Structure 1
Amino acid sequence: MIALPGVPSLRSSFYRIYPALSMLVLLGLWHIAANATASATLPSPSAVLTVLAGEVRSGNLFHHLGATLSRLAVSFVLAMSLGSALGVLLGRHPHLDRFFDVWVMLFLNVPALVIIILCYVWFGLGEAAAVTAVVVNKLPNVVVTLREGTRALDRNLLEMAESYRFGRIKTLRHVIAPQLFPFFVAAARNGVALIWKIILVVEILGRSDGMGYQLHLFFQLFDVAGILAYTIAFVGVIQLIEWAIFQPLETRAMRWRR
Structure 2
Amino acid sequence: MDRGRKSPRGISGGLEWFSLPLLLLTWQILAVVVDHRLFPTPIEVVGELWYLATERSLLEDVFKTLTRAAIAFVVAMGAGIVLGGIFGRFRAADQLFGSWVLIGLNIPAIVVAITCYIWLGLTEFALILAVVINKAPLVTVTMREGVRALDHGYGELARVYRVPFWRRVRRFVVPQLMPYVLTAARTGLSLIWKIVLVFEVLGSDGGVGFRIGIFFQNFDIAGILAYTMAFMTVVILIEYAVMRQLEAKVLGWRPAFLSA
Partner residue in 1 for 2:35? 38
Letter in 1 for 2:3: A
TM-score, normalised with respect to structure 2: 0.90
Partner residue in 1 for 2:3? 3
Partner residue in 2 for 1:184? 181
User: Which deviations, in whole Å up to 9, do the C-alpha atoms of 1:124-173 show, x marking residues without a partner?
Assistant: 11000000000000000000000000000111122234445556544333
Q: 1:178 Cα shift?
A: 1.6
Q: 1:242 aligns with which of 224, 236, 239?
A: 239
Q: 2:51 aligns with which of 35, 42, 54?
A: 54
Q: Determine the C-alpha separation between the residues in 2 that align with 1:155 and 1:199.
A: 39
Q: Which moved more, 1:171-180 or 1:65-74?
A: 171-180
Letter in 2 for 1:33: L
Letter in 2 for 1:83: G
Partner residue in 2 for 1:171? 168
Letter in 2 for 1:97: D
Partner residue in 1 for 2:199? 202
User: Which deviations, in whole Å up to 9, do the C-alpha atoms of 1:11-44 show, x marking residues without a partner?
Assistant: 7776454234343333233223222322111011
Q: 1:219 aligns with which of 216, 221, 238?
A: 216
Change (3 A) 1:182 1:221: same
Secondary structure of the residue that 2:20 maps to in structure 1?
helix
Letter in 1 for 2:24: L
Structure-to-structure mapping, 1:101-120, within 5 angstroms: 101-120=98-117
TM-score, normalised with respect to structure 1: 0.91
Partner residue in 1 for 2:75? 78
Q: Determine the C-alpha separation between the residues in 2 that align with 1:101 and 1:14.
A: 45
Q: 1:150 aligns with which of 147, 150, 154?
A: 147
Question: Structure 1: which 5+ residue stretches go unaligned?
Answer: none
Percent sequence identity over aligned pairs: 41
Change (3 A) 1:87 1:33: same
Question: Structure 2: which 5+ residue stretches go unaligned?
Answer: none
Letter in 1 for 2:118: V
Change (3 A) 1:51 1:62: same
Secondary structure of the residue that 1:254 maps to in structure 2?
helix
Q: Determine the C-alpha separation between the residues in 2 that align with 1:12 and 1:154.
A: 31
Is 1:140 aligned to 2:137, yes or no? yes
Q: Which moved more, 1:149-158 or 1:53-62?
A: 53-62
Change (3 A) 1:107 1:34: same
User: Which deviations, in whole Å up to 9, do the C-alpha atoms of 1:62-119 show, x marking residues without a partner?
Assistant: 1000000000110011001111011011111111111111111111110111111111
What is the count of residue pairs matched by the alignment?
255
